[in-house]
Amino acid sequence: MEKSTNKAKIIFHIDMNQFFCSVACIANPLLRGRAFAIGRENSTKGVLSTASYEARKYGIHSAMPQNEALKILPSLIIVNPNFEMYRDYHNKFISVIKRYTDIVEVASIDEVYADMTEIAKQKHPVVLAKEIQEVLLSTYKLPCSIGIAPTLFLAKMGSDMKKPLGVTVIRKREIKEILYPLGVEDIFGIGKKTYPRLINNGIKTIADFMNPDNKQKVIDLVGLNTYTYAYNCLTGNSSNKVDPNRYDESKSISESETYDVHKSIIEELALELRKMTRSVYNKMKKGDYYCKTVTLTLRDSSFITITRQKSLSEYTDDYYVISDIAMELLEDNFEEGKTYRLLGIGVSNLCLSKDLPREYNLFTINDKLEKEIEIEKMMKEFQTKFGTKALYFKKNEK
């Protein structure tokens, strides 16, 4: 994982509140204040993409089957998605943020990170956040919540704490006071399949997670990589770099596929993901790259796309590490009842082996070489016996 530099920065995470519902209300103001959801109009099939706050009061939520939602609330209004308007208002949203800084990293259609360090020298960060909220709300009727912190992770945690229209400041010295009382399910990056294991084993709060007495128990439950990542983030020792070009092709290697027949079974997606991961790994090896970040992309049948990533504390070119992270991201973000039309996997924060920090060349690579040589030898022997394609999958190969 990329570490924070010593000089404190002021990072904003700006998260639009129920963005798709907000856009729907712009298109049809009569929806304001009413219980409605984005899905398939005039149908009981499919699942909901999202629900208004009024609908959520009844327990209606994203990924819920429409027929189940209508049983709970027969008067629920279902609205078709409007992708053209989503793109238009996303661009409006970004244009407002860029009035204040050019250092903007788009995390998804409804959230961005922005480095406000320079402009905050002229205007207090909280005043600045309130101004951005006012501009977005009064000009475009888009409510948002904003987290302010010295790292991207803490800013994201802050924006999630107060919705709608909240502003939360988290300084490093306030982490214990603000974050430790929260549940482990609130740790950004801890997936929905992971936190129940923690809770069932007595790790219920972030304070429990960070307690040194629980360290080995937590590692046993979530793995060393996840523990190290979350621990560093929750001590304020994670990235403070907002990178507008983070997802440029030149800085990443990725594979994705769109399916004519949408997939709803996680085992099918897992098989596809393994093939893609092997392909990405082969490209890494061919270019002699190491990576720090693994990213999963899922697009459902309603064209709602999520991108989730996990960063390591050090560079790796270990296929099994990359594959394990990819599978973990899939398991944590796959939703039962949804069908998926696109799956993608990528690696980023790349570094050529010759450019690795010195300690890699002195220790890490030498340790890995013996294992890799043995693995490569076994693979070659296997392929000599069973054919060159025995361990590799290519697109459209059956």
Give tens-digit pLDDT for 71-85.
999 999 999 999 899
User: Structurally, how many domains does the chain consist of?
Assistant: 2
Q: Is residue 282 part of a domain?
A: yes
* Calpha distance 209→260 (Å, rounded): 43
* Lowest-confidence segment of 48-52, 96-100, 114-118, 181-185 by average pLDDT: 48-52
Are 267 and 300 found together in one domain? yes
Are 261 and 363 found together in one domain? yes
- Exposed/middle/buried for 74, CB within 10 Å: 0-12, 13-18, 19+? exposed
Q: Which of 324, 308, 328 is nearest to 316 (CA)?
A: 324
pLDDT at 298: 94
Average pLDDT over residues 267-278: 93
Bridge-based pairing state of the strands 252-263 and 340-348: antiparallel
304 band by pLDDT with thresholds 50, 70 and 90 = confident
Last residue of a domain, one of 209, 234, 259: 234
Q: Where are the beta strands (DSSP E) in the chain?
A: 11-16, 36-38, 50-51, 77-79, 104-108, 111-115, 144-149, 167-169, 252-263, 289-300, 305-316, 340-348, 351-352
Q: Which of 186, 229, 239, 191 is nearest to 208 (CA)?
A: 186
Identify which has the larger pLDDT, 195 or 398: 195
Whether the predicted pLDDT of 396 surpasses 60? no
Whether the predicted pLDDT of 149 surpasses 60? yes
Are 214 and 342 found together in one domain? no
- Check residue 193 and report its DSSP letter: T
Are 299 and 212 found together in one domain? no
* Calpha distance 273→254 (Å, rounded): 12
Helix, strand or coil, per DSSP, at residue 58:
coil
Would you say 14 and 114 are in contact if contact means Cβ atoms under 8 Å apart? yes
Are 255 and 375 found together in one domain? yes
Q: Is residue 7 part of a domain?
A: no
* Calpha distance 306→194 (Å, rounded): 18
Are 200 and 275 found together in one domain? no
Q: Is residue 191 part of a domain?
A: yes
Q: What is the mean pLDDT of the chain?
A: 87
Give tens-digit pLDDT for 53-64.
999 999 998 888
Q: Is residue 157 part of a domain?
A: no
* Calpha distance 9→151 (Å, rounded): 7
Catalytic residue among 54, 111, 255, 328: 111
Are 229 and 253 found together in one domain? no
Would you say 295 and 311 are in contact if contact means Cβ atoms under 8 Å apart? no
Residue 111 is among the residues annotated as catalytic for this protein: yes
pLDDT at 369: 46
* Calpha distance 58→77 (Å, rounded): 13
Range of the structural domain that residue 347 is part of: 249-386
Are 191 and 315 found together in one domain? no
pLDDT at 15: 96
Gyration radius from the chain CA atoms: 22
Q: Is residue 137 part of a domain?
A: no
What DSSP string describes 338-371?
A: --EEEEEEEEES-EEGGGS-HHIIIIIHHHHHHH
Are 273 and 372 found together in one domain? yes
Average pLDDT over residues 123-137: 97
Q: Is residue 344 part of a domain?
A: yes
pLDDT at 361: 41
Residue recorded with tokens 């590799």: 392
Residue recorded with tokens 């190290």: 228
CATH for 308:
3.30.1490.100
Whether the predicted pLDDT of 36 surpasses 90? yes
Average pLDDT over residues 302-326: 86
Are 253 and 225 found together in one domain? no
Would you say 85 and 27 are in contact if contact means Cβ atoms under 8 Å apart? yes
Helix, strand or coil, per DSSP, at residue 109:
coil
Give tens-digit pLDDT for 222-258.
988 889 989 999 999 999 999 888 766 567 899 999 9
Q: Is residue 92 part of a domain?
A: no
pLDDT at 297: 94
Task: Count other Cβ atoms within 10 Å, centred on residue 247.
Answer: 17
Q: Is residue 79 part of a domain?
A: no
Measured CA to CA in angstroms, residue 191 lies from 188, 194, 208, 228 at distances of 8, 5, 17, 15
Tokens linked to 144: 């948002």
Are 199 and 328 found together in one domain? no
Residue type for 175, please?
A: I
Q: Which of 103, 148, 106, 156 is nearest to 130 (CA)?
A: 148
- Looking at the whole model, is its pTM more than 0.95? no
Are 272 and 191 found together in one domain? no
* Calpha distance 183→187 (Å, rounded): 8
